[in-house]
Amino acid sequence: MTTAPSDGILVTGGTGFLGGAVVAELLGSPNWPRTVLLVRAPSPAEGAARLAANLRRFGASDALLARIAPQQIICGDITDPGAFAGDRRLTVITRVLNCAAVTSFGSHPMIWRTNVDGTLAFAGAIFGLPHLQRFVQVGTAMICGDSPPAVVREDDYPKAGVSHLVEYTASKAEAELQLRSGFPDAPLVVARPSIIVGHSRLGCGPSHSIYWAFRMSDAMQRLMNDPRGIIDVVPVDFTARSLLHLLLKPTLAHRTYHVSAGPGMSPSFRQISAAFGRALGDGRTTDRYEVVTYEDLVAAQDRFHDWFGRCNRRLMLRAMRIYGTFAGLGAAFDNKRLLDEGATPPPRFTDYLHLCVETSRGSTVPEQMLVDFM
């Protein structure tokens, strides 16, 4: 979607997984000359270099990377908007996409300061811009906590009393609540992706994030949930295009959207196992998963080296507990609102899983999972 010539676009988080996919989409589009990026870097040149290094992972060619001008980089941190709020490039900004966040599933000291305090401070500065028309805050569908209904709708959450699996999702829920109550009249749209795994053309080339959890179950042939249960997974390129659709479409019917596979395109673990079988060529047509408890996995830890190679058993068990619980939610996130806005429908995880398998051959599960625990 192309914006009006007067539209200026600001994107944060361009050095990350999802923000990188967004910038990769923008870079080759007519919207690129109107785009500026907030990047944590000591100078615009270094910011441009950080951005370019990330975009290479998305397959950006040298010719495309040459389109990044240091003048498009605003050096800054969302927790300190006072340092860049007076930048004259912001005066023409009409559309802002905030992908910046601390997404660690560990106990990262900056989670709350960035995702709640920083997001609020940044949004407050942006809502003061003279020509702002829309601020899209990237949330997460996982604010549903540990007991969601089978089909989650946008207005079901955030709500009080939810038990969160990790501090990260609690912080994202709190940010939404405070943005809505603190800025009730702001042109705020919240877009909540479900679980982002790989890229529909590049597999895990851009990032291994979360893919390793599926690989881990497959290596063990063990699951902590019913293999008939489904999981809502989307590739990063679909997510990025959907976010840009929500950012640039002239009018939207709602203020909150899931960016998800939805009930129709969320595969079961049995289907995921069959897709692994096709990709690995091991002849299986359905799952052979043994359903186990966390305690069974603790008891089996002597076998971790056989399954995964060299690894830290405590970290492996922690990952199994967290991701096993996410996998067992069995929920799909309704995406009717997004599709009704004219966004392209999502592909199924099982249609591009073979690309994730291919692009993971050079690394082990313990190596791949580090990206989510730093």
Ligand X SMILES: NC(=O)c1ccc[n+]([C@@H]2O[C@H](COP(=O)([O-])OP(=O)(O)OC[C@H]3O[C@@H](n4cnc5c(N)ncnc54)[C@H](OP(=O)(O)O)[C@@H]3O)[C@@H](O)[C@H]2O)c1
Q: In angstroms, rounded to a whole number, what is the distance separating the alpha carbons of residues 139 and 156?
A: 14
Chain centroid, CA 325 distance in Å: 18
From 11, 35, 55, 77, residue interacting with ligand X (rule: CB under 6 A): 77
Residues 51, 67 contacting (CB under 8 angstroms):
no
From 1, 29, 67, 79, residue interacting with ligand X (rule: CB under 6 A): 79
Residues 70, 107 contacting (CB under 8 angstroms):
no
Binding status of residue 235 toward ligand X by CB under 6 A: no
By CB under 6 A, the residues from 129 to 158 that bind ligand X are 138, 140
Binding status of residue 13 toward ligand X by CB under 6 A: yes
Binding status of residue 335 toward ligand X by CB under 6 A: no
Instruction: Build a one-symbol-per-residue string for 33-52: x at contacts with ligand X by CB under 6 A, - elsewhere.
Output: -------x------------
From 209, 256, 271, 359, residue interacting with ligand X (rule: CB under 6 A): 209
Interacting span for ligand X (CB under 6 A) from 60-68, 81-89, 189-197, 344-352: 189-197
Binding status of residue 103 toward ligand X by CB under 6 A: yes
Residue 269 β-bridge partners: none
Interacting span for ligand X (CB under 6 A) from 11-19, 143-151, 270-278, 355-363: 11-19
Q: In angstroms, rounded to a whole number, what is the distance separating the alpha carbons of residues 115 and 140?
A: 12
From 26, 51, 93, 101, residue interacting with ligand X (rule: CB under 6 A): 101
Nearest alpha-carbon partner for 193 in 169, 216, 226? 169
Report the residue number, 260 or 350, with the smaller CB distance to ligand X.
260
From 170, 195, 320, 357, residue interacting with ligand X (rule: CB under 6 A): 195
From 24, 36, 55, 100, residue interacting with ligand X (rule: CB under 6 A): 100
Non-local CB neighbours of 120 within 8 Å, separated by 6+ positions: 175, 178, 179, 182
Burial class of residue 318 (count of CB atoms within 10 Å of its CB; 0-12, 13-18, 19+): middle
Q: Say which amino acid occupies 65.
A: L
Helix axes 119-126, 167-182, angle to 10 degrees: 30
Report the residue number, 289 or 333, with the smaller CB distance to ligand X.
333
Binding status of residue 217 toward ligand X by CB under 6 A: no
Binding status of residue 191 toward ligand X by CB under 6 A: no
Binding status of residue 237 toward ligand X by CB under 6 A: no
Interacting span for ligand X (CB under 6 A) from 88-96, 191-199, 264-272, 292-300: 191-199
By CB under 6 A, the residues from 14 to 33 that bind ligand X are 15-19
Q: In angstroms, rounded to a whole number, what is the distance separating the alpha carbons of residues 10 and 128?
A: 14
Q: Where are the beta strands (DSSP E) in the chain?
A: 8-12, 35-39, 73-75, 93-98, 134-138, 151-152, 188-193, 195-196, 222-223, 233-234, 256-259, 290-291, 332-333
User: 39 phi and psi, to 5 degrees?
Assistant: -130, 140
Report the residue number, 209 or 266, with the smaller CB distance to ligand X.
209
Binding status of residue 193 toward ligand X by CB under 6 A: yes
Residues that bind ligand X (CB under 6 A): 12-13, 15-19, 40, 77-79, 99-103, 114, 118, 138, 140, 172, 193, 195-196, 209-210
